[in-house]
């Protein structure tokens, strides 16, 4: 470390910059395919740690980013700090427990930047999410103006510059300006990859040049750089394939520690490397950020409770990536609802089953009925009917943990073994494609959703007549 001063009583050695650089809708595999030059530099020149077991915890961007920034599920986050009775135009999240507030309290400068303000992480769901700038450096006013005045072509560029390059330039300027002061910066690139996973290739050379600049000028000597995503591609053709189903669930996550980190914190570094093939989630990344906010926490890892699985198997147990994580960790223990679980340590997938069987048809009817129930007060939306069941298979789970989403309360009693029916289907009107995981209910012949029904193709303008909460299901009449 070479900061010349310290703040809040922390020594220079205990302070380090943290940069989260997020790529919307980017699986680890698509990063390998489309950014080969940047990937090679990260691995060979920067000794990046690749978290191969990192799994998403929810469907789309907001509920996958909120756990990183707050340590809570989206449901917990809303209950903690939001007016749940307000309409989206009057909801503000200024009082919510974002991690950049904790960094600020600990003497860090903070920054938040994203390029696609029209579908920004927070403003897509709440039109005026922040009444005041949430961080010391906030790029949204600039991005608003650039999008209104300088956006060109398919929206990838501001004038003659790729919008992704603008974000990287902003990070470079931040690193230079704050070279003697620790900072936390969260940057989210949406335009590059949101609409087409192949467009990510446009950012390979800009990212490579950014990495070279940060390395050459010594900024990575005092910075932990995290490259991450919320999920893989959710709404294009690949999503309907077996490969696409897995990639959607396993987003990008690389962590680049400073070159001195392994020597200064050998136990933490060895744990980090060992955890690269373990099951991890956004909740673990949040815990890791807390450690990076105060590196003195890494001197006493043995004294921290990390894997008390036998004590409370029902509860989510987040773990810093600098602590040892068990090979036997389950999805629900990591905060991953079973619908998103791809870990075969939790489950065994059986062969495909006949989609015309009564068992499958009763399950898919229940899923469609649930979608229509969700729309019951949306009188501008058509009643959905089943068009086709495209595939179905059973997954046998062995667990003593709760079913349902991470926001739901545990069911009564432990269940050692249970089976999920995961199916894909399309509906009319609109030919919407959906995926659902269901379990048998207590009443004979009944079903329960293990997680909400999720859409797997674009709804475009079909849902223009409703708010964001209903767009996935609604076909406007």
pLDDT tens for each residue of 374-424 = 999 999 999 999 999 999 988 877 654 444 444 444 344 444 567 889 999
Average pLDDT over residues 218-228: 98
Look up tokens 């392994």; give the residue: 262
Q: List the domains of the chain with CATH numbers.
A: 12-335 (3.40.720.10), 348-470 (3.10.450.10)
pLDDT of residue 398: 64
Please tell me the predicted confidence (pLDDT) of residue 9. 45
Confidence label for 304 from pLDDT (cuts 50, 70 and 90): low
Q: Rounded to an integer, what distance in angstroms lies between the CA atom of residue 38 and that of residue 303?
A: 38
Between the CA of residue 357 and those of 31, 354, 362, 364, 419, what are the distances in Å? 39, 6, 9, 11, 17
Q: CA–CA separation, 325 vs 307, rounded Å?
A: 7
Q: What 3-state class would DSSP assign to 394?
A: strand
Read off the pLDDT of residues 154-208 as tens digits, 9 standing for 90 and up: 678 888 889 999 999 999 999 999 999 999 999 999 989 888 888 999 999 999 9
pLDDT at 3: 47
Residue 94 confidence class, pLDDT cut points 50, 70, 90: very high
Average pLDDT over the chain reads 87
Considering Cα of 46, then 343, then 292, then 66, what sign does the dihedral take? positive
Distance of CA 201 to the CA centre of its chain: 21
The β-bridge partners of 110 are 184
Does pTM top 0.85 for this prediction? yes
């Amino acid at each position: 470390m070479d900061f010349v001063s310290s703040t809040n009583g922390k020594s220079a050695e205990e302070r380090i910059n943290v940069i989260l650089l997020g790529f919307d809708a980017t699986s680890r595999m698509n990063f390998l395919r489309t950014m080969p030059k940047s990937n090679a530099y990260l691995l060979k020149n920067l000794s990046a740690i690749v978290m191969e077991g990192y799994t998403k915890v929810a469907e789309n961007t907001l509920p996958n980013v909120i756990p990183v920034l707050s340590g809570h599920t989206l449901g917990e986050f809303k209950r903690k700090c939001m007016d749940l009775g307000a309409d989206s135009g009057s909801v503000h999240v200024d009082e919510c427990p974002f991690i950049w507030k904790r960094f600020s309290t600990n003497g860090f400068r903070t920054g938040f930047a994203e390029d696609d303000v029209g579908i920004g992480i927070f403003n897509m769901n709440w039109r005026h999410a922040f009444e005041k700038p949430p961080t010391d450096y906030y790029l949204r006013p600039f991005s608003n103006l650039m999008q209104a005045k300088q956006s060109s072509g398919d929206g990838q560029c501001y004038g003659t510059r790729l919008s992704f390059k603008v974000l990287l330039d902003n990070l470079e300027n931040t690193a230079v300006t704050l070279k003697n002061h620790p900072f936390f910066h969260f940057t989210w690139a949406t335009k590059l990859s949101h609409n087409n996973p192949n467009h990510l290739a446009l950012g390979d050379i800009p990212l490579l040049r950014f990495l070279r600049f940060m390395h050459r000028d010594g900024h990575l000597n005092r910075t932990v750089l995290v490259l991450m995503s919320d999920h893989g591609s959710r709404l294009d053709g690949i999503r309907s394939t077996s490969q696409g189903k897995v990639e959607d669930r396993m987003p990008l996550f690389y962590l680049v520690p400073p070159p001195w980190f392994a020597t200064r914190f050998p136990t933490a570094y060895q744990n980090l490397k060992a955890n690269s093939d373990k099951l991890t989630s956004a909740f673990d990344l949040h815990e890791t950020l807390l450690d990076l906010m105060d590196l003195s926490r890494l001197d006493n890892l043995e004294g921290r409770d990390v894997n008390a699985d036998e004590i409370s198997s029902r509860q989510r147990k987040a773990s810093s990536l600098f602590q040892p994580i068990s090979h036997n960790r389950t999805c629900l223990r990591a905060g991953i609802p079973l619908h998103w679980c791809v870990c075969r340590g939790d489950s065994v997938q059986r062969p495909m089953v006949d989609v015309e069987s009564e068992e499958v048809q009763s399950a898919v009817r229940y899923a469609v009925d649930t979608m229509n129930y969700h729309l019951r007060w949306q009188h501008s939306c058509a009643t959905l009917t089943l068009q086709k069941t495209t595939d179905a298979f059973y997954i046998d789970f062995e667990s003593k943990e709760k079913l349902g989403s991470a926001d739901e309360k545990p069911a009564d009693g432990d269940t050692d073994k249970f089976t999920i029916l995961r199916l894909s289907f399309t509906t009319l009107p609109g030919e919407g494609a959906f995926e659902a995981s269901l379990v048998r209910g207590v009443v004979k012949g009944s079903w329960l959703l293990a997680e909400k029904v999720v859409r797997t193709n674009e709804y475009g303008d079909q849902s223009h007549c409703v708010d964001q909460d209903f767009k996935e299901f609604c076909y406007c009449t």
